[in-house]
Structure 1
Amino acid sequence: MLITFKSKAYPNVMMYQDHAKRILDLLQKDSDRGVITAEEAGRAVKLLENEIEESRKHQPTDEMEQDVMAHNGEEDTEHEPVEVVSFSTRAFPLLEMLRAARDQQTDVLWGV
């Protein structure tokens, strides 16, 4: 399921609910619907920046690729290379929206 984040300060940002949930849990917000007010945006930006920095310290390893190959059950056949989309890459559009909302004193809404 997709979540569409909306703000007057930035174009809409769409994310899969599973990916958005990690961010919204960090911000102590419900993933079904909610608002990050202009007053909350500055704190939200700091929390998300800190989480991104922390996630960069724990990059995926070769073990992850081995796990993916094991689950496919075809270790001897060639596959497309495993491409991992990092948390920071997924979070960046919403982080930019939050920065714009903070700077322009507008809210961020979803599920409405």
Structure 2
Amino acid sequence: MLITFKSKAYPDVMMYQDHAKRILDLLNKEPEIGVITSAEAERAVQLLEHEIEESRKHPPTDEVAQDIKAHHIEDDDPEHEQVQMVSFSTRAYPMLEMLRAARDHKCDILWGV
């Protein structure tokens, strides 16, 4: 399921619920419906920046790579793109930018409404 985050300060950000859940858990928010107020945005930016920094200190393990390969159908087609892991920092970046814009423009972020 997709979550669309909306703010007057930034273009919409869409994320799979599974990927957004890590960010929303960090901010003590529910994935179904919610708001990050402009007053909460500064603290949210700090928390997310810290989580991104911590995630970069811990590279993915071999088990993660094996899991990805196990769920990917092996194909001998040379035209088929190779499976690539997407880091937490890459997934979180659009949300971090939205939070910064919300903080700077004093706008809320809404989802599920």
State the partner residue of 2:109: 108
What's the TM-score, normalizing by structure 2?
A: 0.86
State the partner residue of 1:51: 51
State the partner residue of 1:94: 95
User: How many matched pairs?
Assistant: 110
- Which sections of structure 2, spanning at least 5 residues, go unmatched? none
Runs of 4+ in 1 over 2 A off after TM superposition: 61-74, 77-82
Question: 1:48-95, CA deviations, whole angstroms, 9 ceiling, x for partnerless residues?
Answer: 000000000111244432344456697xx8686431000000000010
CA–CA distance in 2 between the matches of 1:65 and 1:78? 19
Distance 1:8 1:58, change over 3 A: same
Question: 1:7-33, CA deviations, whole angstroms, 9 ceiling, x for partnerless residues?
Answer: 000000000000000000000001000
Distance 1:73 1:102, change over 3 A: closer
Distance 1:111 1:62, change over 3 A: same
Q: Residue 111 of structure 1 aligns to which amino acid in structure 2? A: G
What's the TM-score, normalizing by structure 1?
A: 0.87
Distance 1:67 1:50, change over 3 A: same
- Which sections of structure 1, spanning at least 5 residues, go unmatched? none
